[in-house]
Structure 1
Amino acid sequence: MRTYLVGGAVRDKLLGRPVTDHDHVVVGARPEDMLAQGYKPVGKDFPVFLHPKTNEEYALARTERKTGRGYHGFAVHADSDVTLEEDLARRDLTINAIAEDEQGQLVDPYGGARDIEQRMLRHVSPAFVEDPVRLLRVARFAARFAPLGFTVADETMALLQQMVRDGEIDHLVPERVWAETRKALGETQPSAFLRVLRESGALAVLFPEVDALYGVPQRAEFHPEVDTGIHVEMVLDAAARLAPGNDLVGFCALTHDLGKALTPKEELPRHVGHEHRGVRPLRVLAARLKVPTEYAELAELVCREHLNVHRAFELKPATALKLLTVLDALRRPERLQLFLAACMADKQGRLGHEQDDYPQAGYLRHARDAAALVTSAPFVAQGLQGPAIGAAMERARLQAISELKTLS
């Protein structure tokens, strides 16, 4: 019985990145051997155990054989006769197929260390095409490691394109698509996720609403990058800078301009009303991928209201208060912060505007704080009752925002 550290822990050590999860593979053991040593079984589809002291995961070395379409179409063989090399061969990318023995020596039969040095995302074996989730994982790893110079190997991109042509990704369940997308939106450069999906042809299948944005022109005086798809990529990366690791802001960035794909051709490159046209495709996308309600609701608010935020200083106090009310910002200031981060990302996600100030966000935060200071207590003390209290509070809040607007 021999144990090895495997996967992301080894990869991240070689990259000099923090190691958070330690996964191990066990060679030469059977489930009863693990139980006899006090390991706790947790695996459903194959034998995985928790170490009795560290609680880290230890999986028996295993092989997989394709038996059907999709993510679940595999037969797993895990026993004491499976070698480490066989276990590593079933993994997706060479950089994830490196092991380290108990003496700290690398076992690297597929050249993962070399690909880390060459900054290459490369598949381990032709069996890569058997699992459609791997396409999304490659795109997600691109989003994580693009800032370090990683690119997808040509032969791996060819396999991704083959998976799309063969219809293998059609068998991806919505929950897996969303799970991988959500992780990608929280990475450092989520634009790389879109680029890999688009080059492989998967974006048109999984996110047709986003794919439709590429090639749609915008007014160059406002969008020097012109192409709406490129703009969305830039907004995603701006969101990652402004709200690191926050996939909720990332989803808002991804979907904020879906309406531009529906602009009548005769109106291009202007997009009057795109903020309202974008609501319907956003709802379709969110329903198809079973996006959590919190994400779908905030994304819809960003889609519908981001232009109002851009012109915040032009809004009447009543309009500003209505916006804050729709956002439920008086009760949930943290939601306003996320909303404003997405709107600021839209402003900075333009060629040459990456470092632009966004005073509109500060103004709306101050407006929210001023309105929140108004409470019912003084009006109750005056003897007001029922609806009269609410009307008085609204007048006071409008006055507070008016005074703030005068100061600004």
Structure 2
Amino acid sequence: MPLTGLRVYLVGGAVRDRLLNIAVKDKDYVVVGSTVEEMQQRGFLPVGDDFPVFLHPKTKHEYALARTERKSGRGYHGFTVDASAEVTLKEDLQRRDLTINAMAVDESTDELIDPWGGQQDIKNKVLRHVSPAFAEDPLRVLRVARFMARFAHLGFTVHPETIVMMQQLVADNELQELPAERIWQEIKKSLNEPTPSAFFWTLRECGALKQLLPEIDAYFGIPQTRQWHPEIDTGVHAMLAIDNAKHLSNEVAYAVMVHDLGKGITPAHVLPSHRGHEATGVPLVRAVSRRLKVPKNYQQLAELVCRLHLKCHTIEVLRAKTVDKLFQDLDAYRRPERVEQFVQACQADATGRWGDEFQDYPQADIVRRYFKAAQAVDIKPLIEAGYEGEKLGQQIRQNRIRAIELCQTDST
């Protein structure tokens, strides 16, 4: 058997989640006292580029050789790795980010091994660094923020000394060394955690939000009209909306995250009004998306939601011709899934406000109903009647507008 005679330990998130009574999704293992050659002889499949990680030949679970890391340069990749057979389990656990992630379970005895107090920190509901080596990896700033997004609803907070280390990483400009892809991956994962807003609040607390996402940081302190936004602060509204989108797709959640960027650059003399923010926000959405190397489909939807979300909010008073234009702008007749994505994002925005009176959003179903009517227009009779080219397109649009008008009449 591949594992016979090996010293194998379940580590990291699986141990943490077991203690938190959370369903374990992924299992990672550490092997102590072995070598690359021995693992391959036992049939394990090497997959690690930066350090020795293997897949079990049958279960496909990950098994990594115990290792230490020593800072040898700036940034996320500036480390020298030692994965020799002499590295101990305690040394391996010491290199990890947080104490709650630095525990292990002996696979042969089921003994919990917790040299850094992770179990007690789980009881105390605190995210605490394992050692001063925490400050050697700037990615850990984002990871702590992501764990807050995951565990804030359970009452977890970040240890004050850990916050200080995060602040120092920001002050030293270490975050500038992070690849855009890694920053985006942490943001993306956070958007569907139980409390996505905790990710942004944590980054803001240590100063990282202003450095990594200045357009989001600019939300905070910007007032809105109290009549429509009792929470007043645009940053608070943005966080409420982001939390509303946690159960939606990543693509939609990202659109919600950036839909109000234009409010961050509203001239002070017109505040708290934000007339035209949907147009001024589009270039900012495009800039953020490109800087983070966000997938193209995410960027496209985000720009549409930014530019058009007020049309969804006011759908009840729009003329049929304007409604049809909205569907054209969304490219909905070719991509009907866009309508659902759009209304979901708009609903998360509209209900991201204080007050029960803002929690209903009938506009979502109105948009769906209008689109169903327009989509049902049968093109075949027009073709049979001899319409073609530009005239065919004009007649199709007229019929769709008429279908929307009939739907509007039926609703009154």
TM normalised by structure 1 equals: 0.97
Asked if the contact 2:75/2:177 (under 8 Å) is kept, the reply is: yes
Match of 1:269 among 267, 272, 289: 272
Q: Does the alignment pair 1:104 with 2:105? A: no
For 2:327, the equivalent position in structure 1 comes to: 324
Specify the code of the residue in structure 2 equivalent to 1:65. Answer: R
1:63-78 mapped onto 2 (5 Å cutoff)? 63-78=68-83
- CA positional deviation for 1:66: 0.3
Asked if the contact 1:98/1:106 (under 8 Å) is kept, the reply is: yes
1:288-299 mapped onto 2 (5 Å cutoff)? 288-299=291-302
Write the deviation string for residues 239-287 of structure 1: whole angstroms up to 9, x where unpaired: 115x2xx221221111111111111111111111111111121111111
Asked if the contact 1:30/1:60 (under 8 Å) is kept, the reply is: yes
For 1:163, the equivalent position in structure 2 comes to: 169
Asked if the contact 2:350/2:358 (under 8 Å) is kept, the reply is: no
CA distance in 2 between counterparts of 1:207 and 1:61 reads 35
Match of 1:348 among 344, 351, 357: 351
Measured at CA, do residues 192 and 276 of structure 1 come closer, stay the same or move farther in structure 2, by a change above 3 Å? same
Asked if the contact 1:238/1:354 (under 8 Å) is kept, the reply is: no
Specify the code of the residue in structure 2 equivalent to 1:178. Answer: W
Asked if the contact 1:142/1:192 (under 8 Å) is kept, the reply is: yes
1:109-148 mapped onto 2 (5 Å cutoff)? 109-148=115-154
For 2:410, the equivalent position in structure 1 comes to: 407
Range with greater deviation from structure 2 (314-323 or 379-388): 379-388
- CA positional deviation for 1:170: 1.6
Aligned length: 405
Match of 1:48 among 37, 46, 53: 53
For structure 2, the residue ranges without an aligned partner over 5 or more in a row are 1-5
Secondary structure at 2:63 match in 1:
strand
CA distance in 2 between counterparts of 1:220 and 1:353 reads 15
For 1:394, the equivalent position in structure 2 comes to: 397
Q: Does the alignment pair 1:62 with 2:38? A: no
Specify the code of the residue in structure 1 equivalent to 2:71. Answer: K
CA distance in 2 between counterparts of 1:353 and 1:276 reads 29
- CA positional deviation for 1:353: 4.1
Asked if the contact 1:6/1:98 (under 8 Å) is kept, the reply is: yes
CA-atom RMSD in angstroms: 1.2
Specify the code of the residue in structure 1 equivalent to 2:282. Answer: V
Write the deviation string for residues 20-64 of structure 1: whole angstroms up to 9, x where unpaired: 111000001011111111111111111111111111100000000
Write the deviation string for residues 312-356 of structure 1: whole angstroms up to 9, x where unpaired: 011111111111111122232322212111110111111124871
Asked if the contact 2:7/2:32 (under 8 Å) is kept, the reply is: yes
Secondary structure at 1:278 match in 2:
helix
For 2:220, the equivalent position in structure 1 comes to: 214
Range with greater deviation from structure 2 (308-317 or 279-288): 279-288
Match of 1:231 among 234, 237, 240: 237
CA distance in 2 between counterparts of 1:105 and 1:259 reads 54
Specify the code of the residue in structure 1 equivalent to 2:272. Answer: P
For structure 1, the residue ranges without an aligned partner over 5 or more in a row are none
Specify the code of the residue in structure 1 equivalent to 2:315. Answer: A
Range with greater deviation from structure 2 (324-333 or 201-210): 324-333
Asked if the contact 1:348/1:354 (under 8 Å) is kept, the reply is: no
Measured at CA, do residues 355 and 213 of structure 1 come closer, stay the same or move farther in structure 2, by a change above 3 Å? closer
CA distance in 2 between counterparts of 1:280 and 1:291 reads 15
- CA positional deviation for 1:386: 2.2
Q: Does the alignment pair 1:7 with 2:12? A: yes
Asked if the contact 2:10/2:28 (under 8 Å) is kept, the reply is: yes
- CA positional deviation for 1:383: 2.3
